[in-house]
Amino acid sequence: MVPAELLIGSRWQASAGSGRTRDVTSPFDGNTVGTVGVACPEDVEVALAAAERGAAVWRRTPAHERMTILLRAAELADQRAVEIARTISSESGKTITEATGEASRSGDLIRLAAFEGAQLYGETLPLDANRGTGQDKIGFTLRQPCGVVVAITPFNYPALLVLHKLAPALAAGNAVVLKPATSTPLTALALAECFVDAGLPEGVLSVLVGSGGVLGDALVTDPRVRKISFTGSTATGGHIAGVAGVKKLSLELGASCPVVVLPDADIELAASAVALGGYVNAGQVCISVQRVITHPDVTADFLDALVPRVKAIRTGDPSSPETTMGSLITTAEAERVERAIAQARADGARVLTGGERDGTVVTPAVVADVDPDSPFSQQELFGPAVAVSSAADWESAIAQANGTAYGLGAGIFTSDVAGAVRAIREIDAGSVHINWTPLWRADLMPYGGLKGSGYGKEGPRAAVSEMTEVKTVVLHGRPW
């Protein structure tokens, strides 16, 4: 159990200002699952000052030593995976099965980042190609850490989304100030404790728990911060981009991910994949299936295959192995999703199953005959419901797939290789999956969106690149 204190500069300590703590409660039953310290603006200043000092030490630490510390942290994450899984489930409402899967990936994700952080290759520059002045010079590039990184993470994957920012930043030699979601801070603190216990030097890591309204602008506008990595809403991401100033930004924002089902698709495969990809973590996933676009020839068969699979999803106590879908993060979020489904019905769509709310649990819903231009398709739902619309031909299907402000992930089901290639080229999304839904991610792959879904890439190799800067070096010899 992590202390009910703040982690500032890799050391547990009381708040410099507020001295307050707060209880973290289960979204499913309201029970208290832990207590955390609450940061205030004074703590931001202490953490950033510590990070500035820590970054100066950490960047000079040889890559093999940084890698050794991260590998120790990975081992600790493995050893503590069962407890971390319980923490994930209890504070997020995620099923214990899903939480166990998330926790079990933590150690390997840290290892991937540790390796990539030790592979900061540069390149040689062909200066002799510069007419008349380059023959006596040698040029090359070096990568160096940005310095101080601010990482801001959401509630829905409280281990993986923390580690996709924290581990690459540390591996590349940066100091990090992490602000996790206020609803799921315990997982972030437990993972940070792995790094501290592994021997992370003083100053290198801080975790500030508190309101984004209180802490956010103080963190992202500070000139000592060179890099910001944010995952969350498009509105908040836009605000950060507007106030951050001259800094490197990675923004992973909203989505309304489409799946296209063509007439030559394997309908049973498509239905099985959507029944999984639309409802994992109660649909609270950026790459969750929100829209399915079917050809009229197969719409009825697809719905006949999908609805019974969705009805078979078992809601209930997230701590029970029998539960296959847990709760939403708050009652307010559950009420929002319930209203969105009801509005879709009022707008003429058919709710074939689900959509009822009990506290923070909304039964998984399939909503057919959805207008592609309606809010239910256009706006991010972030809940356990899938909208099904039809498109009569290839061009209109692709137009629907591309027809929102977002472009994070997409899927297409087809047995036609030529059609798959065309989809890969024409769908505007950061990842395109053939014969699966966008709800699939290997931790090593580049991950990020197009259009309103943000910019910058995660995945250890991509993130290490984002967390470093390139320096050009020229050695001047005597003229020949």
The catalytically annotated residue of 91, 98, 252, 333 is: 252
DSSP state letter for 266: -
Q: Say if strands 409-413 and 431-434 run parallel, antiparallel, or are unpaired.
A: parallel
DSSP string, 111-156: HHHHHHHT-----EE-GGGSTTTSTTEEEEEEEEE-SEEEEE--SS
- Residue among 427, 116, 141, 112 nearest 257 (CA): 427
What CA–CA distance (Å, rounded) separates 201 from 458?
25
252 is catalytic: yes
Contacts of 165 (CB under 8 A, 6+ apart): 149, 151, 153, 176, 178, 229, 231, 458, 463
Helix (H, G, I), strand (E, B) or coil at 47: helix
CA distance 389 to 111: 42
Q: What angle do CA 10, 467, 76 make, to 5 degrees?
A: 40
Strand locations in 225-288 (E): 227-231, 248-252, 257-261
The active-site residue, picked from 146, 194, 257, 286, is 286
194 flagged as catalytic: no
Residues with catalytic roles: 252, 286
